[in-house]
Amino acid sequence: MHISDKIKNLAPYAFAEVNNLVAQLKDEGVDVIDFGVGDPLDPTPEFIRKALTPAADKHATSGYPSYIGMKSFREKCANWMQSRFQIELDPETEVTSHIGSKEAIFNFPEAIINPGDYVLCPSPGYPPYKQGTRFAEGVPYFYPLLPENDFFPDLDEIPEEIAQKAKIMWVCYPNSPSGKNATKEMYEKVYEFCQKHNIIMASDEPYSEIYFSDEPPISALSVGKKGVIVFNSLSKRSRMTGYRIGFACGDPEIIATFRKLKTNIDSGTPNFVQEAAIVALSDESHVEQARAEYAERLGIMQEALTSIGLPPNTTEGTFYIWQQVPENETSLSFAKKLLDPSIGVVVTPGELISDECEYRGQKINPGANFVRFALVPTLDQVQKAAERIKTLEL
């Protein structure tokens, strides 16, 4: 069978080694607690699920949905962006629906770049930033997110010749996996850098509602609309990962280009799912409850991790802990240590979700000394994991 070079060149599945170990432990009867993959196990709130049935009746004739999202959905998104971030958006030209940020992010470079153009991607970062770039025949340039820079981009270290060839810069705050929230000053610097080099600032904000800071996170659109596109999603805010719905908003010229691309790729989110999303976006109490639940899990894990002498982590938002490992360990060795049958805790080794970067004349892997905990197990499981972690001797 003939297989495309793009598929052949895909790196082997990074988690294979950890997955094999996990499967082995389960076979041995170990009670494994999985903080590895970031897919929440909590149910979608009942009032959102209940909205589906009348919505299916309302849209009894199936028909293809609108490519750009129903007017009522786009209006709801614009209203929500206004009330949450005080950002004015025209639902006709500045908002478009998508079938989840993953697909939108993966496909976006196809609308913007030509072969050989650069895309600036954070490392560690969400894999579709780089894979979408590669499939569009662009070149990802990885900029590191490091604790000494508050996990913000160090713009002075991006070489001028790369900046000149770059067409998109991905940013993601609250940051997965470091959990850092953006500051306005940081967004302003990135915006200025992007404007200077005619780069689109593409901001992935799926965790904007999962935060533990006193002040809610801000959106990249708060520093400017020209040259900026924001991707947000109902997946994390309303625990709707399986529904496949979100929206992109910002600069009308970029939105128009993105709509043109998407019209050729997918046929939109089902109307009854959009109706459920409108119901979800009209309620904040379920989001407050989700935040409280994640905060409780975060507190339990933070206490356990610091009690064995690990440095405090930086989580202000998202449901991740980006934990620095002990000095005598690597991200892989520490992840394996947590898989000891007496602990049975699965985490993601940081080096597997980070790409090598050129930084200050050296090649570094920014995830080499970190493991990622996704706070998705139930409260009971989190408590059990914390007790077991406290028995670890470093």
Ligand X SMILES: Cc1ncc(COP(=O)(O)O)c(C=O)c1O
* Shortest distance in whole angstroms from residue 106 CB to ligand X: 9
Q: Which pairing describes strands 95-98 and 139-144: parallel, antiparallel, or unpaired?
A: unpaired
* Shortest distance in whole angstroms from residue 91 CB to ligand X: 20
* Shortest distance in whole angstroms from residue 321 CB to ligand X: 14
* Shortest distance in whole angstroms from residue 220 CB to ligand X: 14
| Residue 233 in contact with ligand X, rule: CB under 6 A | yes
Site string for ligand X, 237-256 (x = CB under 6 A): ----x----x----------
* Shortest distance in whole angstroms from residue 350 CB to ligand X: 15
Asked if residues 196 and 141 have their Cβ atoms less than 8 Å apart, the reply is: no
Closest CA to 318 of 389, 219, 213, 168: 213
| Residue 330 in contact with ligand X, rule: CB under 6 A | no
Q: Taking the C-alpha atoms of 263, 265, 270 and 271 in order, what is their torsion angle to the nearest 10 degrees? A: -10
**Near ligand X by CB under 6 A: residue from 85, 126, 212, 370:** 126
* Shortest distance in whole angstroms from residue 125 CB to ligand X: 8
Nearer Cβ to ligand X, position 290 or 304? 290
Site string for ligand X, 93-112 (x = CB under 6 A): -------xxx----------
Q: Taking the C-alpha atoms of 375, 376, 379 and 381 in order, what is their torsion angle to the nearest 10 degrees? A: -100
* Shortest distance in whole angstroms from residue 373 CB to ligand X: 14
Site for ligand X in 2-61 (CB under 6 A): 38
| Residue 206 in contact with ligand X, rule: CB under 6 A | yes
Nearer Cβ to ligand X, position 100 or 344? 100
Site string for ligand X, 175-194 (x = CB under 6 A): -x------------------
Nearer Cβ to ligand X, position 172 or 325? 172
Which positions lie near ligand X, rule CB under 6 A?
A: 38, 100-102, 126, 172, 176, 204, 206, 233, 235, 241, 246
